[in-house]
A and B are shown apart, each in its own frame.
Chain A
Amino acid sequence: MNQQNNQKEILFDLFGALCNETITPEQHQTLENILAEDAEARQDYFDYLELHLNLERMHDERPETAIDFHLPVYAKPASQAKAFSGKTFNSPQALWLLVTAICVTVVGGMFFLNQAPSTPLQISQRITPKNNIAVAKVTQTAAVRFAECSPFLKVGSPIDAYQEYAISAGQLQLIFSNGAEVILTGPAVFESEGGDHLAVRYGSCSVFAPDGAEGFTVETPLSNVVDYGTRFSVNVTEAGNTDVQVIEGETDVRPIKLDGDSVIKTKRLTKGMAQRLTTNNGLVVDEIPFDRAQYVSGLPDRVISYTTTLGPRQRAEDLTSVTIQRGGTPREYAVEDLIGIELTHYKGRSFLTRDGGVDPATDGNPLTLRRHLLDQDRSLLTGVVNPFGSETPLTEPPVMNEVEDPNQPNTPGMAIRFREPVVNDVGPDIVLFDLQVIVHATTGDAFYVTPLPFTSKLKTHKINQFDIDLASPEAKPLEKFWLHIFNKNQQAGIGSRSELETASGNGGNLHIVGAKALAVGIDLSDLGFAEGETVEGLFIQDAQDNADVIDPVFIAGLPPVKHSKK
């Protein structure tokens, strides 16, 4: 480390101690001296403190704080401060809405201003070569995570020659220009020199080389695996040791020459053969038992991607289609072809509206209801959200009275009924979209889903991870939205669907921190249904495994693929 870097490190340690409020008098003196003398250090100081404050602001989602005007808080006890907001202004609600709108517009602007209109920048990306040569493209991703310093890829992204890519988890499917199809499973590091070449430095890949793709070569640290029209897998350890498994056809394994005296010859492997290349004072090649399971023939059934309309900031608004892999086949569904729902029960805390914050209960139109934010629109910004939940799965039918009976409290959570029964077919049968604030859990908020009507033959299933999660390249940033919280009791929330329509809200606040739309497919087989059986509805509960709660903004059933209803 050079001296300049060292001084920076010291300076940042001092900033850190200052923000942590652990700074010693000696450190404070040192910092003061540096700030007095060094203009660049002062600039760094301002930036660091602003970062510290922004981290607080980004995490501050408490709606009262977002609109809280501090004057009364300073001057009075809380109880009187409330009176202030009512007494001082003749039209407090309108005024607070004005204040809120102004406040969040400006503060929100801090976060939205100058962001790229579509995909967030991947600053870890190396500088793009001047002459990119695309040798392949990404056809699918599944739960993929890109390693630091790796370019970020999504479906349709080109794979550039001589560019190293690294995934730390998940899967990527590529198609090369010569027709070879490759699935890489993370962690993996790879690079290509051309349309018939893939260098795998680490990780596993499965190759399908159809007619015309013969000659496709997978280079590993110890070998070149040349395909002659086949399916094979290659697994490379961190030390470079390489396993090759041939599922179909023929493959040449050409060991590299570690020294000039190497005499290990090329070995042709045919279906059912496997070989391991290691080093032990030279290259060692061993036959190993064939393991078909090493070959990955396809990505798992899941929600692959979705399309939306774009709002004024070129961010997602209304769902237009969703592509879901069912039984190994990607199928695209227009939103109008999906099976709609009706919200039949709700015990929770809040709802979301579009930018502008119009509450359906107070818009003067008796035909618009709050439940319609979830069950009658295609918007990914609106929904009846933050349903309450349970730490344990539901094991008996939920209580869902239209008006909550204090002697028999409603079950926390929400229920939906499909407008027609949904058939348990291949792969996912239901799709659920969740609005996830970008600073919350990457994998999405875990939740329980219980079939309705519930019988002892069926079971509650826990969804721990969304197919398209926050880190997924297919997750789309959303336009602005407003969060409304019921005034009744913000912790206890409201207890029934009738209360959902009548309870007073807080007027809503524009949500400062950005969000993305996550999506997950639900397979009725996981809920205990046999193939061909149908479900009428679902009960949804947050899994209460952290402070964040699921925010469903769109739920629908998928049309059957092959089964008729039973």
Chain B
Amino acid sequence: MSNDLEHPALPDDLQVKFLHVFTQHRNQIYSYIYSILPNRDDAEDVFQRTSLILWKKFSDYDDSSSFFSWACGVAFYEVKNFIRVAQRKRLQFRDDVIQQLADERAGISQLKLNQRAAALQDCIQKLREKDRKLIDQVYRDQMPVKELAETTGAAVQTLYNRLNQIRHQLTHCIERTLSYTGEGK
């Protein structure tokens, strides 16, 4: 069976260059997709499609412009295409909201996101032990909440509520940290 990846269209130097810039921006690209298509399976699907297209079309990329902007353009088209094909099997935002979210998300400064990620590190340490444990179980161990509820004897909704509270608490903590350091929002 033919496979594009076994017969890469890119010459070796472009392959290396692609890997370089793609690796730099992969999290940004995924975040962008997830912001406009906030479902993990769907976002993962579109991310993979987008990655493949970026790879195949990398020779078209003008390296005097922003790779992330170029990638966002490809990703946005793929999101729209995905929604059209999926025929709204899942809950998705309407077109004008997606467009607005996409425009604004693409313009967010990476520096600001980096600052928030750095603040998150400190804020996690300030969580109560049992909250950190819950975060560990859900995010690190990727334990389904339903399974966790069965293990601990807690109600599923209670755990979801607790996760919401923890994320809310972390959001507050990050805001306070950034305002304290003068970085602001």
Contact = CB atoms under 8 A, between A and B. Distances in A.
Nearest to B25: A106
A53 interface: yes
A290 interface: no
B150 interface: no
A288 interface: no
A58 B119 CA distance: 12
Given A58-B120, A98-B16, A71 B34 contact: no
B171 A47 contact: yes
B48 A18 contact: no
Contacts of A89: 12, 15
Nearest to B113: A50
A: interface residue count bin? 35 or more
Contacts of A116: 181
Interface string A43-68: 11111111111111111110000000
B27 interface: yes
Contacts of B173: 123
A88 interface: yes
A36 B96 contact: yes
Contacts, number: 210
Contacts of A87: 6
Contact of A439 (B40, B126, B140): B140
B114 A109 contact: yes
B105 to A, nearest CB: 6
Given A46-B108, A123-B176, A442-B129, A51 B167 contact: yes
Nearest to A28: B91
A50 B139 contact: no
B20 interface: yes
A20 B145 contact: yes
Contacts of B57: none
Contacts of A113: 111, 114-115, 117-118
A75 B4 CA distance: 9
B176 A439 contact: no
- Dominant SS at the A interface? helix
A182 to B, nearest CB: 26
A559 interface: no
B125 interface: yes
B163 interface: yes
Interface of A: 12-13, 15-23, 25, 28, 32, 35-36, 39, 42-61, 69-76, 80, 84, 87-90, 95, 98-99, 102-103, 106-107, 109-116, 120-121, 123-125, 148, 438-439, 442, 470-471, 513-514, 547
Given A35-B101, A442-B129, 18 more contacts: A16-B168, A20-B163, A43-B185, A49-B35, A56-B139, A58-B120, A58-B139, A59-B135, A70-B48, A71-B48, A88-B15, A102-B19, A112-B118, A113-B114, A123-B176, A438-B124, A442-B125, A547-B141
Interface of B: 3-6, 8, 12, 15-16, 19-20, 22-27, 30-31, 34-35, 38-40, 47-49, 51-52, 55, 91, 93-94, 96-97, 100-101, 104-105, 108, 111, 113-126, 129, 132, 135-136, 139-141, 145, 160-161, 163-164, 167-168, 170-171, 173-174, 176-177, 180-181, 183, 185
21 contacts: A13-B164, A16-B161, A16-B164, A25-B91, A28-B91, A44-B171, A46-B35, A50-B31, A52-B167, A53-B30, A55-B135, A57-B27, A58-B139, A69-B23, A75-B5, A75-B52, A88-B6, A102-B23, A113-B117, A120-B121, A442-B132
